[in-house]
């Protein structure tokens, strides 16, 4: 009903504008023709009759302004009424949608509570029907909720021990959580593998030890988030903001991190094997002891990053900015450093450069042992 009324108002407003435009054109045409052809019946021209009382002066600018003012009054009232009614309908529609979302959330919690208390969901086996019902309810409601209420669903599932890593009763594979507002949420050790969290706001969220393997986190905001020991293997974090995040001993092997902001992130001992970090910002990141073997770091910004004792064997650092990067005892065996911005003093601090493709395009060969 509301949608039909809004459509009718929009149509009526369009027609009103067209009618106003036509009337104004007609008035201007009539004025022009009245003056041009000297039509007395229009009353636009000066006219002197046989008697003095029959004298009619020509219309002045003030006369025309008065005429246009009189014509404008009903037009303004009509347009104002149409605008006010449209806005009222829009507000009512927004309120109705919000009420529908709140009703859907409350209905979901009631249904899930029934599955927990009456159907013993937490005691079910993977093949039991009650788990399938719980998953269907969850995936369905997430498509209908806004960012704030998606947070409520996740918090409910986590607090109810239904999405705990290693013992998850609700499979969130493919769950629609994009754009969810999870600022400061405590979801440590939650199982969110393969969930769609693109553009989600997870700033300062506690996700230590969480299962996020294969999750879609494109353009997600994870600045200052706690992700220590979290599993992000094969997750898509392209263009995500991970500045200042705690990624100590996290698993990011084979993760997609192209264009991601990892500036100032704490990544001590992080597993980044074969991760894709093309054009990622790692400036000021703490990567000591991290494993970056086979990682793609072409064009990455690593200015002032700490790569001391990092495992970089076979990593691609082509054209990477390694200015003032700490490479003390880093293993660069077989690494590709072609075109990289790095000094010979920095490379001298590395643990090994055997077989590495050097910035000038030459292959580094270990110096022969003395006496050989």
pLDDT tens profile 161-174: 999 888 899 999 98
> Does any domain span residue 30?
yes
> Does any domain span residue 129?
no
Lowest-pLDDT choice from 2-16, 266-280, 289-303, 339-353: 2-16
Phi and psi of 206, rounded to 5°? -100, 105
> Does any domain span residue 271?
no
pLDDT at 6: 55
pLDDT in tens, 126-143: 999 999 999 999 999 999
Question: Could you list the residue range(s) of the whole structural domain that residue 9 is in?
Answer: 2-98
Confidence at 74, pLDDT banded by 50, 70, 90: confident
Mean pLDDT of the region 323-340:
92
Query: Does residue 359 have a pLDDT over 80?
Result: yes
> Does any domain span residue 71?
yes
> Does any domain span residue 181?
no
Number of domains in the chain: 1
Q: Which residues contact 330 (CB under 8 A, 6 or more apart)?
A: 307, 308, 309, 310, 311, 312, 349, 350, 351
Q: What percent of the chain has pLDDT over 90?
A: 63
pLDDT at 293: 93
> Does any domain span residue 32?
yes
Mean pLDDT of the region 196-219:
94
> Does any domain span residue 329?
no
> Does any domain span residue 293?
no
> Other CB atoms closer than 10 Å to residue 261's CB: what's the count?
22
**Closest to 185 measured CA to CA, from 170, 200, 169:** 200
């Amino acid at each position: 009903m509301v949608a039909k009324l809004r459509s009718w108002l929009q149509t009526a407003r369009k027609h009103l504008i067209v009618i106003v435009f036509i009337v104004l054109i007609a008035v201007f045409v009539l004025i022009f023709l009245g003056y041009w052809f000297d039509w007395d019946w229009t009353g636009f021209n000066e006219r002197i009759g046989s008697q003095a009382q029959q004298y009619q002066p020509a219309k002045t600018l003030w006369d025309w302004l008065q005429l246009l003012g009189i014509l404008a009054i009903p037009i303004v009232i009509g347009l104002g009424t149409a605008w006010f009614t449209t806005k009222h309908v829009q507000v009512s529609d927004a309120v109705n949608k919000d009420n529908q979302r709140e009703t859907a959330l409350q209905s979901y919690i009631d249904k899930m509570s029934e599955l927990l208390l009456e159907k013993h969901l937490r005691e079910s086996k993977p093949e039991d029907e009650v788990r399938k019902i719980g998953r269907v309810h969850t995936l369905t409601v997430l498509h209908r909720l806004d960012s704030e209420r998606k947070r409520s669903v996740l918090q409910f599932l986590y607090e109810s021990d239904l999405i705990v890593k290693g013992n998850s009763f609700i499979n969130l594979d493919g769950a629609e959580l994009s754009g969810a507002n999870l600022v400061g949420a405590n979801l440590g050790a939650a199982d969110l593998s393969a969930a769609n969290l693109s553009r989600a706001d997870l700033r300062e969220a506690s996700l230590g030890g969480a299962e996020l393997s294969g999750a879609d986190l494109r353009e997600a905001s994870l600045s200052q988030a706690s992700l220590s020991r979290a599993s992000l293997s094969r997750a898509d974090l392209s263009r995500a903001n991970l500045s200042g995040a705690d990624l100590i001993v996290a698993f990011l092997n084979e993760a997609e991190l192209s264009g991601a902001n990892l500036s100032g992130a704490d990544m001590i001992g992080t597993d980044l094997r074969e991760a894709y970090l093309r054009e990622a910002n790692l400036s000021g990141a703490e990567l000591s002891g991290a494993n970056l073997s086979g990682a793609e770091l072409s064009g990455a910004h690593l200015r002032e990053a700490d790569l001391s004792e990092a495992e970089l064997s076979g990593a691609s650092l082509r054209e990477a900015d390694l200015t003032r990067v700490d490479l003390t005892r880093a293993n660069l065996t077989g690494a590709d450093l072609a075109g990289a911005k790095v000094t010979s003093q920095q490379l001298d601090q590395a643990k090994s450069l055997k077989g590495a493709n050097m910035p000038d395009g030459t292959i580094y060969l270990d110096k022969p042992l003395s006496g050989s």
